[in-house]
Amino acid sequence: MNVSLDVNTVQGRTALASYDVVVLGAGPYGLSATAHMRARGLNVAVFGKPIGFWREHMPKGMQLRSYWWATNLSDPEGRYQLKDYFLLKGKREPEILPIQDFVDYSLWFQQNVVPDVDETLIQRISKVGSLFKVQLEDGRVLFARAVVMAPGLQYFVYYPKEYQGLPSSLVSHSADHHDMAEFKGKRVIVVGRGQGALETAALLNENGATVQLLARRSVHWISGTGHSSLPPVLRQLRAPDSALGGGWLNVFLEKLPYSLQRFPRDIVDYIVDTKHGPKGAPWLKPRILGKVEMLEHQYVDAVEPLGETVRVQLASGRQLEADHILLGTGYKTNLKRLTMLAPELLQEIHTYQGAPVLNPWFESSVTGLYFIGFSSVRSFGPLYRFVLGADAAARRLAVAVPRYVRAL
């Protein structure tokens, strides 16, 4: 649907409208931020496909690794949480949250809290004086005092160099496929060892594909605290529970969601690069072990197209041949992938390892330009890889953005 704009018609069919804030992205972070900023009295327009990444780029039949009760979108009054949705629909609270339940819940949230999402894509964002000029694909032009970037993960899919330049008919990212049934009867190599790669391999096997999992290191599985022999009180003291899992670091990340931004960069890098890394949920084990060939500690020397198939030469000397390679290699922030940002604007954004350098209010080096969600992980830590981080990001923007807008 299109937002009903307060429009002044100018030359031709171009239309101008003015907002306090434009939000790019209608996923959990964009919707939550919009809800909180509107509650502070701001005039906010939000653009994107509601829950588009989850609906179009995540595999059918997937189950979420995170706790269901820690996977809420955020509205200021807390009236639209998953527990409220389950109660309304007469559903039992699940031990493991299916992706379809999460999508249905998120759309229910959107329809009730942010019903006027405009699905028109943003073509260009540039700076004109103290304002941002936002051009839409349908020709409309908007101006805003601030812009919040909450792009979906589809912008940041990661292709290891050995797989770059190969035809998409032979090599693609797992985010390019919604239904693994398309690979029924095919030989598929899945590259990666994290939850995404492991679940992709399981779903492929369950949909009739012959699957090999290729990983440079050992596959690891999420386990308990490792102190089950201790009394419950001591176990909680040693590794307390949190919405991110067990351990004091997870408690710190959840309860003090903005603190990591002030830490030295090497400490933040260590936490981002080593915590909540590639691991599979324990409930995936019986769907993988003995059903998918696991090729761990394997390095790739070359990948060669062979007509309608593809050959992988391993450093060990072994050769693999498959009908398709699916990359479960995750995502890496690279602002250059956000082609809607005007080149001159992009040059003004200070970056580190491809991600924007953000101040304690999620603001980039371009005043009035904010980044939340996955693109904020390098500044704020691994909490913001998860839906759980949407509440903290939205609440901080609800303080920072009104203050900035009203100071102009």
The confidence score (pLDDT) of residue 10 equals: 37
CA distances to 108, 333, 390 from 70, in Å: 17, 24, 11
What are the start-end ranges of the E strands in 158-299?
171-173, 187-191, 210-214, 293-295
Domains of the chain in sequence order: 8-156+331-407 (3.50.50.60), 161-221+279-327 (3.50.50.60), 232-274 (no CATH)
Three-state secondary structure readout of 334-372? CHHHCCCECHHHHHHCCEECCEECCCCCCECCCCCEEEC
pLDDT for position 8: 43
Q: What percent of the chain has pLDDT over 90?
A: 89
Question: What is the model's pLDDT at position 232?
Answer: 66
Relative to beta strand 141-149, strand 15-24 is parallel
Residue 227 in contact with residue 363, Cβ under 8 Å?
Answer: no
- CB atoms under 10 Å from CB of 160, counted, come to 13
Give the residues across from 326 on adjacent strands. 172, 190
- DSSP state, residue 92: P
Q: How many CB atoms lie within 10 A of CB 124?
A: 15
Tokens 């990591």 — which residue? 260
Q: What is the pLDDT of residue 133?
A: 98
Instruction: Give tens-digit pLDDT for 43-88.
Output: 999 999 999 999 999 999 999 999 999 999 999 999 999 999 999 9
Name the nearest CA neighbour of 83 among 99, 101, 110, 62: 101
CA dist 88 and 359 (Å) reads 40
pLDDT at 230: 61
Q: What is the pLDDT of residue 276?
A: 86
Separation of alpha carbons 182 and 294, rounded Å:
22
Q: Which residues of the chain fall below pLDDT 70? A: 1-15, 224-239
Burial class of residue 228 (count of CB atoms within 10 Å of its CB; 0-12, 13-18, 19+): exposed
